[in-house]
Structure 1
Amino acid sequence: MLSIELVLTPAADAAVRAVWDALIADDLPSLGRHVSASNAPHVTLTAGPDLAVPAGFDAPVPTELRVGGVLLFPAGTERSVLVRAVVVEQALAAFHVAVHRAAPGGADTVLPGAWSPHLTLARRVRDVDLPRAVAALRRAPLPDVLEVGGVRFWDGDTKTVTPLG
């Protein structure tokens, strides 16, 4: 899978990683358990098997992301993906559309009008563990606003990252 993603500044990245660490401290699933150098907190803007690296975008990269509530996405029987929503403000919506103009071919779930931007915290959290997971999130609260550090192109097959301007 290929994707184009917003990444965070070092301070914002550290705030999300603190949440990942709080989940690990409670022996829960966490993206912090994935030790790959390319594993970083991000918001996926588009993803699909045939995306090309875009030459550029016709809208500015947003400078910040407003963090919303806790969401759960289904992940099989009695398991969920635990995420924090990202509010679709005007600058983010405009950039999202620009990304799709520059790199068409994204999956239906990431197209403008169908996209649910989010920061993934943990995958495959058992439903019975959700109260402990929420308690861990309370111990490591995210700021209301996270600063954007840039844009990257992720190639999941080769595990390579290409920074985009």
Structure 2
Amino acid sequence: MRTVELLCSPRLEETVRAAWDRLAVAGLPSLARNTHPTNRPHLTLASVDAFPPGAAERLADLVDAALPLPVRLDRVEVLDGSAPLVWLVRPTPELIALHAAVWDVLAGADGQNPWHAPGRWIPHLSLALRFRDNDRRLARALAGGDRPAGEFVAARSYDGDSRTVAPLGASVPPRE
């Protein structure tokens, strides 16, 4: 599996990590418990089995032209009732356009994750991967009621086979 992910500005990343920590301290599921070195707040635009030939270079050009991209987080939600706890991202026209362009580059690639497809994609930053809907009220209180703003400042691709990440584009992720 290969992904296309956007990375947060340092201030926004710290805001999300602080929410992870508050959830963990309260004994709730949290990505703070994932100690893999690639674990960091990110927005996934697409996931496929493998990039088609030339796609990495085309994706790099897209993200170089689009970043930095302003972002504002919205409410905390549990997707599908008992799955990921997420901080929703307000979809701006620029973000929607970048998402569509990424999917155009990956058109025809095997293993496209339908959750990320245009029209179905819900832009979000994950807070916990397995979460019970009945803990949503507490999670919202712990994550914070404000709607933080920041930027997406870099892009990367996660390789599920090697469990490594590689930058996409000229922007270097501020933290790895």
Tell me whether the two structures share a fold, i.e. TM-score over 0.5: yes
Q: Deviations over 1:107-128 (max 9, x none)?
A: 2221222211101101222334
* Residue 150 (structure 1) aligns with: 154
In the alignment, which residue of structure 1 is the partner of 2:41? 41
Give the TM-score of the pair, scaled to structure 2. Answer: 0.81
Could you list the per-position Cα deviations for residues 99-151 of structure 1 after superposition, in whole angstroms to 9, with x for gaps in the alignment? 11223333222122221110110122233433322221237x551x1211201
Q: Does 1:121 align with 2:165?
A: no
Match of 1:7 in 2: 7
Query: Among the aligned pairs, what percent are the same residue?
Result: 36
- Partner-residue secondary structure (3-state), 1:44: strand
1:15-94 matches, within 5 Å, as 15-52=15-52, 54-56=56-58, 57-58=61-62, 60-74=66-80, 79-94=82-97
Q: Distance in 2 between matches of 1:107 and 1:113?
A: 13
Quote the offset at 1:51 in angstroms.
Answer: 2.9
How big is each residue's C-alpha offset from its partner over 1:53-104, in whole Å with a ceiling of 9 and x where there is no partner?
52134452352212122221137xxx33211111111111111112112233
Match of 2:115 in 1: 109
State the alpha-carbon separation in 2 of the partners of residues 29 and 69 from structure 1.
18
5+ residue gaps, structure 1, are: none
Asked if the contact 2:45/2:99 (under 8 Å) is kept, the reply is yes
Structure 2 gaps of 5+ residues are 170-176
The aligned counterpart of 2:167 is: 163
Greater strand proportion? 1
**Count of residues paired in the alignment:** 160
Letter in 1 for 2:89: V
TM-score for the superposition, normalised by structure 1: 0.86
- Greater than 3 Å deviation, 4+ residue runs: none
The one-character-per-residue Cα deviations of 1:8-40 (angstroms, maximum 9, x if unpaired) are 122111111000001011011101110111001
Alpha-carbon distance change, 95 to 61 in structure 1, aligned in 2, over 3 angstroms:
farther
SS in 2 for 1:37: coil
Name the CA distance, whole Å, in 1 between partners of 2:118 and 2:88: 16
